[in-house]
Amino acid sequence: MLATLLPLHAAELVYEGFNYPASAAITAEEGGSGWNAGWTQDGDSGVASAAGMTYTDSLGNVLDVSGLGMETTGAATTRNFRTVANGPLGDVWISFLYQLPASNSLFEGITFYRGSAAQFAISNTSVDTSATITLGNSVSGANASTHRGIFGSTHFVVLHLIEGGGTGGADKVEAFIDPAFSATPSVPDASIQSANLDFDTIRIAGQNGATLFIDEFRIGSSFADVSPHTVGGDPDTDGDGLTDNQETVLGLDPFTPNTALIAAIKANPAYFGLFSSSSILSQGKGGIILPKTAEDPVGFTFEVQRSTNLSSWSELDTFSPSVALPAGKNFLRVTFDTP
């Protein structure tokens, strides 16, 4: 009887830490847990990286890691597949570390299959030369950009597959990029919907041997299952998204969660004299406000127009520079000079 009173916690379902010899081909390797068999290949094989990847969240908490990592580097297109032991899976959380080293116009990413049919993917697409991480709907062909991603930076990518969570009972996949470990994320950076997105196989691929680094692949029943970590820096003891130091400065109790209050403030910013994202962008005051995402550069577009009568104008040329801004508040202005 006592056992029935204890809290239940669903353990990690699938794990791959790539604990293989450096530079070894991934094909036929059978490490990790929760898999039906070892890695297979269609095309060239990816290889074990020289070193594993690490990740520390915005609160100083450190992801638990082991082994090395995997990279899609090869002489030709690399495609490695592996099937889970108890698939197809639905209503699960998925996480992994992801790093794209440099710009190209090739596909690199992880695709989730049911049998031989691709269901969804998280990748840098073959038409994108930026570092943007894209959530793709393989069923409809539609893509949803997360507007996140930096070349050479390690990102903690989390996917949440929700059976029946979409419109009309469709399945939904939500993508979260670099969420803090302290609380289950609720506002996705991108999402897609489609009928029956259950999966049983994953594919890690790099087109024409393009390099992508992947590590610490996990599948679990909860966010906590796929984000095991060591608390560091400034902990968030009550798990409400505010660190203990932040709560102390605000006069709050770091041992009592303020989750409901934080949710109310976010849902009703005007009531508290705050601005929402949309209202911030409407504060031009005679100028133009440009939205900035994380550390991504800000894009400008200038169009030079031509007229022969000063009433009708046509485009003559367009310039679209991308400007990297320093950290903190920035006020910008544009000046024009002629030779």
pLDDT digits (tens, 9 = 90+) for 67-86: 999 999 988 999 999 999 99
User: What is the mean predicted confidence (pLDDT) over 94-99?
Assistant: 98
Q: How far is CA 53 from CA 99, 141, 185, in A?
A: 9, 31, 22
Handedness of CA 152, 79, 32, 198 (dihedral sign): positive
- Report pLDDT for 339: 62
- Report pLDDT for 6: 35
Does the pLDDT of residue 242 top 90, yes or no?
no
- Report pLDDT for 293: 64
Which range is least confidently modeled, 107-121, 164-178, 265-279?
Answer: 265-279
What residue spans define the domains of the chain?
Answer: 10-230
- Report pLDDT for 305: 82
- Report pLDDT for 205: 96
- Report pLDDT for 288: 66
- Report pLDDT for 5: 35
Q: Quick one: pLDDT band at residue 22, thresholds 50, 70, 90?
A: very high
- Report pLDDT for 225: 96
Please name the amino acid found at residue 168: G
Q: How far is CA 311 from CA 225, 306, 316, in A?
A: 63, 10, 15
Mean pLDDT of the chain: 87
pLDDT tens-digit readout, 313-326: 777 776 667 677 77
* Distance between first and last Cα of the chain: 87
Q: Decide: 261 and 89 in contact? Cβ < 8 Å.
A: no
- Three-class SS of the chain: CHHHHCCCCCCCCEEECCCCCCCCECCCCCCCECECCCCEECCECCEECCCCCCCECCCCCEECCCCCCEECCCCCCEEEEEEECCCCECCEEEEEEEECCCCCCCCEEEEEEECCEEEEEEEECCCCCCCCCEEEECCCCCEEECCCCCCCCCEEEEEEEECCCCHHHCEEEEEEECCCCCCCCCCCCEEEEECCCCECEEEEEEHHHCCCEEEEEEEECCCHHHCCEECCCCCCCCCCCCCHHHHHHCCCCCCCCCHHHHHHHHHCHHHHCCCCHHHHCCCCCCCCCCCCCCCCCEECCEEEEECCCCCCCEEEEEECCEECCCCCCCCCCCCCCCC
Q: Tokens 């209050």 map to which residue?
A: 261
- Report pLDDT for 7: 35
Question: What's the pTM value of the predicted model, to 2 decimals?
Answer: 0.69
Does the pLDDT of residue 187 top 80, yes or no?
yes
Class of domain 10-230 as given by CATH: mainly beta
Handedness of CA 20, 85, 93, 164 (dihedral sign): positive
Q: What percent of the chain has pLDDT over 70?
A: 86
- Report pLDDT for 337: 66
